[in-house]
Amino acid sequence: MASKNLHSFRVTNPGKGDASHADQSDPATSAIAVFLEYLSGGPADEPLASVLGPQRAARFHWECALLALAKALRIRKTEVFVFFSPEDKRTEIESLVMSKFGRFEGRFLAREGGNLREQIHSAFKLLRAMKFSRTFYLNAISPTLPQEYIEQAVVALDKTDYVLGASWKGECYLIGSRDASLRVFDQNMGASGLEIASVYEGLAGLGLSCTLLPRWHDVNTPDDLPFLEGHVRRADFQRLRAILEEQRDDLRQTFKQETS
């Protein structure tokens, strides 16, 4: 444990958060768990389906997931694991990942547990059993998350027990841990299973130190799309931009038909 008292500080200078210069004597001590979910494009699969349509929402979700995975793979001296669901879609998920990244250097593991808290707890315990002393969870619904934030998390974990990155909705987009006991996951973390306030309070109650990253946006409801449209102009997000442009074209066509 790094400290008996809870400290928090915001990492505000991306230029100093270079994970390639982190003090990691053993390059195999850190692992990132990226949670991916296979969506078939059914009407109940994705909240965004009400706006984008089922098939387009499934494509959108997958592009977000691939962007998260690409960021994780850029972190040096850190192994990447894909924790996927549902379990019977392993082949499809592996195929989709390979089509994007070729010979994928990570590993595929089925997610276990009920809510998100239980699934992260299970993933961290499994990675601990594989001798990784520093474990990270990264969500797949923050497609424009700056690469620097993940790098900052890796560096910050040298001096703290946990690193938390919260979305503006109050849920965690990233969790980093070097706490072998993982006791915080035995506690209630709010209705969603992973609310930042509940996680923070749980760490404080256990006397564990914590670093807070800057907040960022996740994209999993129709209300999130206006924010995203202002952030997808870069070439990295051209596939997401194309999906949003398709939706706008459909809306224009529908409007034209209804008013003609």
In a domain, 230, yes or no: no
Residue 25: φ, ψ to 5° = -70, -30
Q: Rounded mean pLDDT of the chain?
A: 78
Residue range 74-89: mean pLDDT, rounded: 91
The predicted structure's pLDDT at residue 157: 94
* Residue 253: C-alpha distances to residues 155, 166, 259 (Å): 49, 38, 10
Handedness of CA 151, 155, 160, 161 (dihedral sign): positive
**Domain that includes residue 97, residue range:** 14-224
The answer on pLDDT for 18 being more than 90 is no
Cis peptide bond N-terminal to 86, omega within 30: yes
The answer on pLDDT for 202 being more than 60 is yes
In a domain, 243, yes or no: no
- Higher pLDDT: 22 or 237? It is 237
In a domain, 134, yes or no: yes
In a domain, 128, yes or no: yes
Q: What is the pTM of this model?
A: 0.80
CATH code assigned at 136 = 3.90.550.10
Using a pLDDT cut of 70, give the percent of the chain over it.
74
* Residue 125: C-alpha distances to residues 7, 121, 137, 157, 206 (Å): 25, 6, 12, 18, 18
The answer on pLDDT for 74 being more than 60 is yes
The predicted structure's pLDDT at residue 155: 94
The predicted structure's pLDDT at residue 258: 46
In a domain, 246, yes or no: no
In a domain, 3, yes or no: no
In a domain, 68, yes or no: yes
The answer on pLDDT for 8 being more than 50 is no
In a domain, 215, yes or no: yes
- Higher pLDDT: 260 or 108? It is 108
CA atoms within 13 A on the CB side of 50: 7
> Phi-psi region for residue 131, left (φ > 0), alpha (ψ -120 to 50) or beta?
left
User: Do residues 46 and 59 lie in contact, with contact meaning Cβ atoms separated by under 8 Å?
Assistant: no
Write down the number of H helices and E strands in the chain: 8, 7
DSSP class of residue 215? P
Each residue of 126-174: pLDDT tens digit? 999 999 999 999 998 888 899 999 999 999 999 999 999 998 888 889 9
User: Do residues 199 and 184 lie in contact, with contact meaning Cβ atoms separated by under 8 Å?
Assistant: yes
Handedness of CA 206, 212, 215, 218 (dihedral sign): negative
Residue range 13-24: mean pLDDT, rounded: 41
The predicted structure's pLDDT at residue 97: 87
Give the list of residues 6+ apart from residue 253 with CB closer than 8 angstroms, or none.
none
Using a pLDDT cut of 90, give the percent of the chain over it.
34
Number of domains in the chain: 1
- Higher pLDDT: 222 or 111? It is 111
